[in-house]
Amino acid sequence: MAITTDPVMDGLLLQVLATPEGRTDPYAYYAQMRQGPPITRTALGPLLVHGYDDCMMVLRDPRLGRGLRGQAGSLIAYAGGDESLPLAFLELSKHNMLLADPPEHTRLRHLVSRSFTPRRIEELRGSMQQLVDQLLDQLAAAGDIEFMTQFALPLPMAVIGELVGVPKSDWADLQPRVRAAAKAIEPILSEEEAHEAFASYDYMAGYFGELIEERRRRPRGDLLSGLAQAREQDDSLTNDEVCSTAILLFAAGFETTTNLLGNGLLALLRHPAEMDRWRDEPSLAPTAVEELLRWDSPVQMNVRSALEPADLRGEPIAEGEDIIVLQGAGNHDPAHFDHAEELDLGRTDNTPLSFGWGIHHCLGAALARMEGEIALTSLLRRFAHIDLLVDEPEWRASFTLRGLLSLPLRVAA
């Protein structure tokens, strides 16, 4: 099967990347993509895969890594004229696991994982439940709420803030900077957004640099102190690596989980029978969260670059070529999932692509799953009535990170 260009596929890709309609409902466009070739070469250069098996194959192939453009998030259509901005962002952010290839990725992940163990995550369960209950008390008192800002954002920010060791007094200031910096991994951004992303990341690098120095002088029982002291024989993290990793863990720890909670609750509201099913069977929580991750993934797209000559379905890929992985589309592939367009909270044998795969599988996946299980189970237990106050909630103007800007609700016990 020769990999060729396809103007129809290019048009569908542009719709989901660049239009409000595509950001609101990319799944309608993914369904149309499945009528076309499984692999195409886009007019902009990168290859495109959208089927589950192809996405998984690309994500797991050790010959396909981040590479230079993969590190930049594959700025497919950078709208500005200052070409130094993507490279400047790379220079600031290249020292963490997300943007590294082996052997540096292997070294960084090994050292970091010691401060991010399953045991440490499980230790957070009690305090997480307490925090959820406190937030639900506030929602119950208000009645009419904005779920994203009053629950979906403060919960994961508090959890990851405490885990990393970011002072609570600084959370509110850092949140919009994280969101601005996250724009740098979007496939299309304006020059203004690129400048803002660079400035926000630069600010956070300075902030975390000072915090790291303070933790070296006075270590605590938090992840930042652990990173500052992480050592393997004579190998330790550099200041740049500690700083870049702290930014990554803090930002990823609440941005994606916020989207999981918002996207997940909206899916339940649009499938009331499944929401009632979860209420009646709280033990469904693990499979329910996995299904919500599949149904509307907080991360829709990934990018890989060929670190060496490789192949895809037997077709050669030259070193340096980029591949766009539409993992949100793969999660709805009927060739892999029975009744893929049905939300089934009891779905078994369910392995969504939402946390990535291979060596870059999300380090915080277990934490995000636990937050989703506790938060949504508690929410459904507390409120017998959860009503959406608008016909169509407003989505964020982003594609890679898919999430709601607002979700106005009325809740009642």
- pLDDT tens-digit map of 301-354: 999 999 999 999 888 999 999 999 999 999 999 999 999 999 999 999 899 999
Categorize the per-residue pLDDT at 115 as very low, low, confident or very high, splitting at 50, 70 and 90: low
Check whether 262 has a pLDDT greater than 90. Answer: yes
Over residues 181-186, mean pLDDT: 84
Question: Can you tell me the mean pLDDT for 365-370?
Answer: 92
CA distance 250 to 97: 13
Secondary element (H or E) of residue 181: helix 171-182
Within 10 A of 270 (CB to CB), how many other CB atoms are there? 13
Query: Would you say residue 85 has pLDDT above 90?
Result: no
pLDDT of residue 44: 82
Is the separation of the CB atoms in 117 and 379 below 8 Å? Answer: no
- Torsion angles phi and psi, residue 100, rounded to 5: -110, 155
Buried b (16+ CB within 10 A) or exposed e, 294-310: bbbbbbbbbbbbbbeeb
Indicate the average pLDDT of the chain.
88
Q: Residue 69: its pLDDT value, please?
A: 46
Distance in angstroms (rounded) separating the CA atoms of residues 301 and 97: 18
Look up the pTM and report it.
0.92
Q: Does the pLDDT at position 234 exceed 70?
A: no
Integer angstrom CA distances of residue 146 from 43, 103, 392: 41, 44, 14
pLDDT in tens, 140-183: 999 999 999 999 999 999 999 988 899 999 998 999 998 888 88
Q: Count other Cβ atoms within 10 Å, centred on residue 23.
A: 18
User: Which helix (H) or strand (E) element contains residue 387?
Assistant: strand 385-388
Task: Report the pLDDT averaged over residues 30-57.
Answer: 95
pLDDT in tens, 281-291: 999 999 999 99
Two tokens, residue 385: 């009535």
Q: What are the backbone dihedrals phi and psi of residue 86, each rounded to the nearest 5 degrees, phi first?
A: -60, -40
Q: Judge whether residue 17 has pLDDT over 70.
A: yes
pLDDT at residue 266 greater than cutoff 70: yes
Check whether 22 has a pLDDT greater than 60.
Answer: yes
Residues 116-127 have a mean pLDDT of 84
Average pLDDT for 46-74: 82
197: confidence class by pLDDT, cuts 50, 70, 90: confident
Q: Minimal CA–CA distance to 286: which of 239, 212, 346, 196?
A: 346
Q: Using an 8 Å Cβ cutoff, are 338 and 63 in contact?
A: no
Least confident interval from 16-20, 71-75, 120-124, 297-301: 71-75
The residues near 117 (Cβ < 8 Å, ≥ 6 apart) are: none
Kindly indicate the confidence band of residue 89, based on its pLDDT and cuts at 50, 70 and 90.
Answer: low
Q: Is the pLDDT of residue 224 over 90?
A: no
**What integer pLDDT is reported at residue 103 of this predicted model?**
82
CA distance 375 to 378: 5
CA gap 260, 20 in Å, rounded: 20
Percent of the chain at pLDDT above 90? 62
Q: What is the pLDDT of residue 74?
A: 42
Count of beta carbons in the 10 Å neighbourhood of residue 341: 10
Omega before residue 103 within 30° of 0, cis: yes
